[in-house]
Structure 1
């Protein structure tokens, strides 16, 4: 899904989880495609560094540190986008947490709460504030689910439950917002190079080889490959796509 130059030309885009992995890759891809980007994550030092890199390359970029679990933080980030660039056209709700690696009957409540609050409440908070900013002129929102939102791979149960819930929120929002010209879709990445995945491999012996063999392409995605799919869904090239979940998984969910 390589984008031609300018597929997001002039759009104002908010990206959560932008301090690393898919989110940071999306910041670069969206900016390359002409978007003015607002980067959101908890680690402000990383956001500042990435924003500076994008501006040095000629993009319009700013950042707003915040935690998607906190509604007020998301509201502040959306307000920052509107006040800085005049509107919000595109949002990529990508922030997420993987949680502890253990069978569900051995997990404590805190492990469940962290995953659900980040991955589900976080998307919930983002959708509410983003939709309010878009209803007057339309827009496009993409939520990051996972292949764990489609099947039950060897990842913790709370993560599977959370990523299924993201797809449900995506469908509900897509139906509710269609009349306002707001499209809402999800991507379902498979194994992708990221801090979360590297940490998982470090904690579970043999998991990397098992995961690499779980899809026909027998490899890990680079973050940019997933970001390209999100950029396409956010662009007008996907104008008749809403309520969909796009697997970006190297064929993981085909067998």
Structure 2
């Protein structure tokens, strides 16, 4: 019998932005491999819907709403975990913001602030809070970045450089936390069929030329991104830290 390389039995995983898309697929997969998953996103009801589906499949999960763009909300999330003496073994930073599509020259400062508050400050602060609690016991942190962090996309300038910052942040945290037994890696999804990416995937004029840049000739499904995240969360990736893995159908090749 082939052993389960992604065995997460006894692990607790906190997944942000987990109410839909890549986050929901990741939470579902981690639970299927034995983790107890804390499903977090802005809306409690949306989190509870994912939890219900996981539990129906025999997995362990619970919902804790949090807005990763708000420091007080992140503090409240970890305070709730502390009250239960719950320390995540795994953190998946997946919550993201991309409120603007268009020229950076015309971008309102409010849209810039929202993008940076979630995609950079939110990832940093959530990682900081989780890592402080993981010290002395180890852990795995996976940041969901984007191929845009390697190749900036037209109309998504600030989103692209915020994702580049996440890649750099991943490497910085990996170096700093290695001595504490905490591994930090990133996954770079390519074009994925999610509501988040609907401005691209639902517009044929944009989608057709995009698909021509992807050697596999199609967009991904969220369930095709989640396995790379689950791998990085597991002991199968015990010697990987500071890595950025593109799951992009060959787009960056």
**Secondary structure in 2 aligned to 1:196?**
coil
Preserved contact between residue 14 and residue 78 of structure 1 (Cα < 8 Å): no
Preserved contact between residue 70 and residue 125 of structure 1 (Cα < 8 Å): no
**Tell me, which stretches of 5 or more residues in structure 1 are unaligned?**
none
Q: 1:87 to 1:160 in 2, by over 3 A?
A: same
> Separation in 2 of the partners of 1:205 and 1:52?
34
Preserved contact between residue 101 and residue 156 of structure 1 (Cα < 8 Å): yes
Specify the alignment match of 1:93 in structure 2: 93
Q: 1:243 to 1:27 in 2, by over 3 A?
A: same
> Separation in 1 of the partners of 2:8 and 2:250?
27
Preserved contact between residue 38 and residue 81 of structure 1 (Cα < 8 Å): no
Specify the alignment match of 1:221 in structure 2: 220
> Separation in 2 of the partners of 1:84 and 1:29?
24
Count of residues in correspondence between the two structures: 251
1:55 aligns with 2:39: no
Preserved contact between residue 5 and residue 33 of structure 1 (Cα < 8 Å): no
> Separation in 2 of the partners of 1:121 and 1:181?
23
Preserved contact between residue 69 and residue 114 of structure 2 (Cα < 8 Å): no
> Separation in 2 of the partners of 1:109 and 1:119?
15
> Separation in 2 of the partners of 1:5 and 1:49?
29
**Secondary structure in 2 aligned to 1:142?**
strand
1:209 aligns with 2:208: yes
Preserved contact between residue 12 and residue 85 of structure 1 (Cα < 8 Å): no
Alpha-carbon shift at residue 80 of structure 1 (Å): 3.5
1:144 aligns with 2:128: no
Q: What is the TM-score when the length of structure 1 is the normalising length?
A: 0.93
RMSD across aligned C-alpha pairs, in angstroms?
A: 1.7
> Separation in 2 of the partners of 1:85 and 1:58?
24
**Within 5 Å, which residues of 2 pair with 1:238-253?**
238-253=237-252
> Separation in 1 of the partners of 2:132 and 2:11?
17
Preserved contact between residue 91 and residue 142 of structure 1 (Cα < 8 Å): yes
**Secondary structure in 2 aligned to 1:225?**
helix
Q: 1:125 to 1:11 in 2, by over 3 A?
A: same
**Within 5 Å, which residues of 2 pair with 1:1-255?**
4=4, 7-81=7-81, 83-84=83-84, 86-202=86-202, 206-254=205-253
> Separation in 2 of the partners of 1:84 and 1:244?
32
